Amino acid sequence: MRYTDWTREKVNKIIKNANSNNPYKLCDFLGIHVDYADLGKDVLGLRTVNFRIPTILLSTRNSDQENYVTLAHELGHHICKHDTNTEYLKRHNLTFKSYGVEYEANKVMIDILTYNTNIAEFHTQKDYINYYGIPDWAEKYIDWNQLRENADFNTFDSVLD
């Protein structure tokens, strides 16, 4: 499986229809139940479907920012219609994947977190990453070329490296 323009368009359409890129609001819009539980030290969150009811479970041990990012990642599994019943995001597997369902979920996560952004507003890539709360492990999923193609460099002074 590869992340495609069709997938990105689907994410953008959902965000436009929901009138928000906030993962919590997107879950509400899509009818996905969000709940919390102590998932131990390693599991950040998971997505499951029981009796055709999608649910995302977030760890009570996560920070608010970790839950926000994890929810966007788990939404990626839902939006891409991954057919495995349970997807886990674990602290120990937060490394770059170049293919498969985790790659796709991480690409959706980045598209949700950075929807409708203008990189010309930032002096450096690091400023951009910090502003949108993108974890260091997820930086490689950012499509800098696509962001530059859509940037409006006429409205801001930018020295993006």
Query: Of residues 153 and 76, which shows the higher confidence score?
Result: 76
Which of the four pLDDT bands, split at 50, 70 and 90, describes residue 86?
low
* Concatenated DSSP letters of 72-91: HHHHHHHHTT---SEEEEEG
pLDDT tens digits for range 107-135? 999 999 999 999 999 999 999 999 999 99
Please give the mean pLDDT across all residues of the chain: 86
Residue ranges of the domains in the chain?
A: 5-117
Instruction: State the CATH architecture for 5-117.
Output: Orthogonal Bundle (1.10)
> pLDDT over 90 for what percent of the chain?
53
How open is the CA angle 109-102-78, to the nearest 5 degrees?
Answer: 60
